[in-house]
Amino acid sequence: MTERVVAVLGRGLTDPQEPAVTADDLGLTRGDGCFEATRVVTAEDGRHTVDHLEQHLDRLARSAVGLDLPEVDRAAWLALIEQALGDWSRPGEAMLRLMLSRGRESASDGPVTGVLTLTPVNPETLRQRRDGIDVITLDRGTSSTAFAAAPWLLGGVKTLSYAVNVAGLREAKRRGVHDVLFRSSDGYVLEAPTSTAVWLRAGILHTTPTGGTGVLASITQQALFAAAERGGWPTAATLARPGELLDADGLWLVSSGRGVARVRTLDGQPVECKPGVTEQLAGFAGF
């Protein structure tokens, strides 16, 4: 059974053991590009469900605009995705990643590079979804309004430049926890390296506002909030300090792969959660 699918725009499926990009690709040498990632669920009969594919392609297109990349060829990506899914039959959950770079530095007038990968969801990701996670806060070094008038900071753009995010996760591992929740230099909760914070307080579901904070607009969080609102739950975009989350009725990190993961402790302090709420929110998010 196929364990990994790799496909390249303009080339189609490739051998996963063979190089997919050149050594001078600007996505590799400069992180000059963007990406998307979403979950694929494959049934025993081989049928696939791709979570929020259109919304992820929309966000990829917005990220490309933010990076002054050529317009995303949506039809080409959809054809490549269809080809990749046709080669994937492993039942269960997988992650579909679409990576777009400016292309080769030695061919400045050449085409962009587009690479697709399809791999099983890591068992640790599923465990964290089931059992919850322990999280620390770390200073991200920018204020809660830093991105408002500075488009060159690429707030809300899902870039390939994830070195700081990965460094945060390494720090979490060094401290014996699962994840990080970045805070602004003026003390407000931002986002996690690969997920978005959602918390319940006074009967209202909250998340950090986008815009000036630079926080990426989360497709999973948006789907969760839309379903919650249909179910009669009020929602809000709110700036909050970490201490306020300790007094909440539940805190979660939400993402396309991990789904809705309950935060059990924040900076070593327990975070309470009302029984059954995590499961209800997971249902709202489609997990």
Tell me: the pLDDT tens digits for 10-43? 999 999 999 999 999 999 999 999 999 999 999 9
Per-residue confidence (pLDDT) for residue 110, from 0 to 100: 86
Structure tokens at 254: 């939400």
Token pair for 30: 């400069």
**Alpha-carbon dihedral of residues 65, 259, 237, 136, nearest 10 degrees?**
-100
Residue 147: how many other CB atoms lie within 10 Å: 21
For the chain, domain boundaries: 5-120, 126-285
Q: Which amino acid is at 183?
A: R
Do the first three CATH levels of 5-120 and 126-285 match, i.e. the same topology?
Answer: no
The reported pTM is 0.96
Nearest to 177 by CA among 143, 138, 133: 133
Domain range 5-120, CATH architecture:
2-Layer Sandwich (3.30)
In the prediction, which pLDDT does 2 show?
76
Please identify every stretch of the chain with a pLDDT value under 50, giving residue numbers as ranges.
Answer: none
Per-residue confidence (pLDDT) for residue 1, from 0 to 100: 67
Architecture of domain 126-285: Alpha-Beta Barrel (3.20)
Q: Which residue has the tokens 């050594």?
A: 23
- Distance (Å, whole) CA 197 – CA 258: 13
Distance from C-alpha of 235 to C-alpha of 233, rounded to nearest angstrom: 6
pLDDT in the model for residue 63: 98
Element (H, E) at 201: strand 196-201
The 3-state secondary structure of 227-273 reads: HHHHCCCCEEECCCCHHHHHCCCCEEEEECCCEEEEEEEECCEECCC
Q: Are 165 and 140 in contact (CB under 8 A)?
A: no
What number of other Cβ atoms are within 10 A of residue 54's Cβ?
11
Alpha-carbon gap, residue 81 to 6, rounded angstroms:
10
